[in-house]
């Protein structure tokens, strides 16, 4: 690493903190409410009624857009839960 003052420090790796944001305003245009921001996710979508369903009935979310801890394992679990919620809604079970 070379710092602004010209000094250097050997570095084999770097961890960079990243805060996720929604890539587009689509969810907001559809009226979806946001979850409370965290250091990891500034604009996760709230799922106040049941896992996977946003504050807008019939609008579902999965993965990083939910504001959960971003990881592949969580995203896969989220996709499965949300798929179940969609089926429940489509079949009238929920
Ligand atoms: C640098 C980095 C390192 C990571 N390392 C790890 C790790 O080691 N282990 C781990 O478990 N997790 C890791 N993660 C987290 C993991 O990658 C994410 O949690 C996961 O990929 C999120 O999956 P997703 O499907 O929700 O979103 P994404 O993988 O972001 O997929 C969203 C997709 O939607 C597309 N898209 C967005 N907007 C639109 C639009 N308007 N129209 C059409 N397409 C659109 C995007 O192009 C993208 O392809 C890492 C993340 C980053 C950024």
The DSSP H or E segment spanning 27 is helix 26-29
* Per-10-residue mean pLDDT, the chain, length 94: 96 90 95 94 94 96 94 97 95 87
Token pair of 1 as six digits = 């690493």
Name 45's bridge partners: 34
d(CA 56, CA 31): 7
Nearest atom of ligand 1 to the alpha carbon of 70: 19
Whether 19 lines ligand 1, by a CB cut-off of 6 Å, is no
72 CB near ligand 1 (under 6 Å): yes
Give me the pLDDT at residue 17, please. Answer: 86
How far is ligand 1, taken at its centre, from the CA of residue 48, in Å? 23
70 CB within 6 A, ligand 1: yes
Residue 75 has what pLDDT? 97
Find, among 30, 67, 28, 29, the residue nearest to 47 by Cα: 67
Model pLDDT, residue 16: 87
């Amino acid at each position: 690493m070379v710092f602004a003052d010209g000094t250097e420090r050997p570095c084999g790796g770097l961890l960079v903190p990243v805060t996720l944001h929604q890539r587009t305003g689509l969810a907001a245009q559809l009226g979806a409410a946001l979850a409370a921001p965290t250091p990891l996710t500034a604009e996760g979508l709230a799922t106040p009624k049941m896992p996977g369903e946003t504050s807008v009935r019939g609008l579902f979310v999965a993965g990083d857009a939910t504001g959960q801890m971003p990881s592949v394992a969580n995203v896969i679990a989220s996709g499965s839960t949300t798929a179940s919620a969609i089926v429940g809604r489509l079949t009238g079970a929920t």
